[in-house]
Amino acid sequence: MSPLLSVVVPMFDVEPYISACLESLLGQHVDDVEIIVIDDGSTDASRAIAEQWARRDSRIRLIGQSNAGLSTARNVGIRAARGRYLAFCDSDDVVPATGYASLVGSLEATGSDIACGDVRRLHSAGLRPHPGYQDTFARSRSRTHIRRDTSLVRDRMVWNKVLRRSFWDERKLMFELPAYEDAPVMIRAHIEASAVDVLTEVVYLWRIREQGPPSGTQRRDEPDNIAACMRMVLDTFQVIRSLAPELIPPYAVDMCCGDVRQGLRALHLHDDATLGEALSLARSFIADVPESVFDELPPTDRQLMRLLAQGDLAGIRRIVEHPAAAVDYFRGW
């Protein structure tokens, strides 16, 4: 018989963290779960550790492949999954014991296509809120939708959710981008879902790595990483423009105050040429943002976006290089 829930776990070089991840998944309060680990060509001891866990518990299935990236690994895991519901967990993160039970239970009760919950950042010093989610998960809602609950434009990650597998297959959802791959897929899923359940419960612990290679979000000031993030911003924008243009203002505000702002901050670290691709992508996004959106931005963000639209990188640099202003303004990032 098919399991109730399939959890897809892409894995690459997470030797210090994979045991904690798998232990948390095996401890879920869901009776019928399968855990599909896709080893994306790990070069450390991650695969050996995962093999030990798989020998110990038959709920874990391990699939190996040459390194092909997170999107490919997730898609391989989806094809192997047999559950009625589908979840995703990154191999350095942890899921609280009641996380999946709460999300699955909500979908069973309401018939919605997606259930999502709150997130905490996980660090050796403890847990802290994820600043982008504080408003989105401040209250529970059953059978809501992103078109009338626009705070859900900030809910772009895949790992704080359980999705109905029939919905995933009917909509032919899949991951494509080599990095920052969640957002275009999850925003499309939100738009095309019949209904979405929002839980205030913390259902996912997103780790800040302190050992091994840094995660993508911890490399946010690297030029290639910034360019990958700006491609995500544009791809997600295209999804919204095509399927739900009424969401352009809240999405654009969130991007201008978030990922685009963060990308511009790197101008105090790199020269214009090094950031050329990232800046070009950011300007392409800004060029299609309605002027009325800029009026909704905080003053410094408004100034930054208008300088970007004009191509005035020197003006942007004067803002982000001011030590006191930069430290205060980007404190949350």
Distance (Å, rounded) from C-alpha 33 to C-alpha 100? 10
Provide the pLDDT for residue 220: 66
Provide the pLDDT for residue 1: 77
Q: What is the pLDDT of residues 155-180, one digit of tens each?
A: 999 999 999 999 999 999 999 999 99
Q: What is the pLDDT of residues 216-259, one digit of tens each?
A: 555 567 889 999 999 999 999 999 999 999 999 999 999 999 99
Q: Which pLDDT tens digits describe the chain residue by residue (333 residues)? A: 799 999 999 999 999 999 999 999 999 999 899 999 999 999 999 999 999 999 999 999 999 999 999 999 999 999 999 999 999 999 999 999 999 999 999 999 999 999 999 999 998 888 999 888 989 999 999 999 999 999 999 999 999 999 999 999 999 999 999 999 999 999 999 999 999 999 999 999 999 877 655 555 555 678 899 999 999 999 999 999 999 999 999 999 999 999 999 999 888 888 888 899 999 999 999 999 999 999 999 999 999 999 999 999 999 999 888 644 443 333 333
Report, at the CATH architecture level, how domain 5-207 is classified: Alpha-Beta Complex (3.90)
Distance (Å, rounded) from C-alpha 12 to C-alpha 215? 11
Q: How many CB atoms lie within 10 A of CB 284?
A: 14
Residue 130 contacts residue 121 (beta carbons within 8 Å)? yes
